[in-house]
Homo-oligomer: A and B are copies of this chain.
Amino acid sequence: MTDETKHDIMRATYDALCRHGYANLTMQDIADESGKSKASLHYHYDSKHDLLAAFLDYLFEWFTERMETALADVDDPVDRLVVVIETALAPPDDEETPHSEFQTALLEIKAQAPYDDAFRARLVEFDHFLRDRIHAVIQDGIERGTFREDVDPGDAAEFIVSATTGARTRHVAVEHRIDRTRRSLETYIGTWLLADDAEAVRLG
């Protein structure tokens, strides 16, 4: 399969998930979005499950590349932490409003994880990548004197991942405004993490 074919199928999967959700999604729905036949999708992927597992791999690759690109020219530890959190909170398509439909489909997939080893393994990759990235940024910030010495980077990283994950769950389930959690995270970084807590932190 060419990169372009793969990209087209993945984009169609994304669009189909937004339109139909996870539970009711069929290969035909994905075929309809892609302009390809169902048979040609089955040529590349044995089942809907295989395709969705490949989609999660693709999403992970996209997410990590996006993170590395966003971090590439950023040196200050506070700015780096803000970039990581923004990337974790922001919708995949960079639009101003969060892409609620996709977040909903992703939450459906998360609720399947206990029954599905392939999905769970991929979600663990996302979770640990984010946690480890945050851990590294905070560790570096402590060493450079930007963050307080008594901060435990492991605890802080788990906390931030839980808060960003929870903000996204609440956005889907109770229409929570992501901005509310964003503002709390600013305060958290400014008050808890910063060695000099006079400095204000702005996210977004």
How many chain copies does the complex carry?
2
Q: What's the least CB distance linking A12 to chain B, in Å?
A: 22
A35 within 8 A of B: no
Q: Are B181 and A159 in contact (CB under 8 A)?
A: yes
Which segment of A25-33, A43-51, A112-120 sits at the interface?
A: A112-120
Closest to A21 in B: B115
Report A160-203 CB contacts with B as 1/0, cut-off 8 Å. 01111111111011111000110111011001100000000000
Q: From A191, which residue of chain B is reached at the shortest CB distance? A: B192
Q: Does A100 contact B (CB under 8 A)?
A: yes
A127 pairs with B172, CB closer than 8 A:
no
Instruction: Compute how far the CA of A161 lies from the CA of B185 in the bound complex, rounded to whole angstroms.
Output: 13
Instruction: Kindly provide the distance from the CB of A201 to the nearest chain B CB, expressed in whole angstroms.
Output: 13
Is there contact, CB below 8 Å, between B100 and A104? Answer: no
Residue A96 at the B interface, CB < 8 A?
no
Q: Which of A126-163 contact B (CB under 8 A)?
A: 127-128, 152, 155-156, 158-159, 161-163
A110 in the interface, Cβ–Cβ < 8 Å? yes
A107 to B181 Cα, complex, angstroms: 20
Chain B residues with Cβ below 8 Å from A172 are 110-111, 113-114
Q: Does A61 contact B (CB under 8 A)?
A: no
Q: Could you say which of B120, B152, B184 contacts A158, with CB atoms under 8 Å apart?
A: B184
Measured CA separation A184–B138 after assembly (Å): 15
Is A54 among interface residues, defined by CB-CB distance under 8 A? no
* Residues on B with beta carbons closer than 8 Å to the beta carbon of A114: 100-101, 104, 172
Apart from A127-B174, A159-B184, A165-B169, list 14 A-B contacts with CB within 8 A: A23-B23, A107-B107, A107-B110, A110-B173, A113-B172, A120-B175, A123-B173, A123-B174, A155-B183, A155-B184, A158-B184, A161-B166, A162-B176, A165-B170
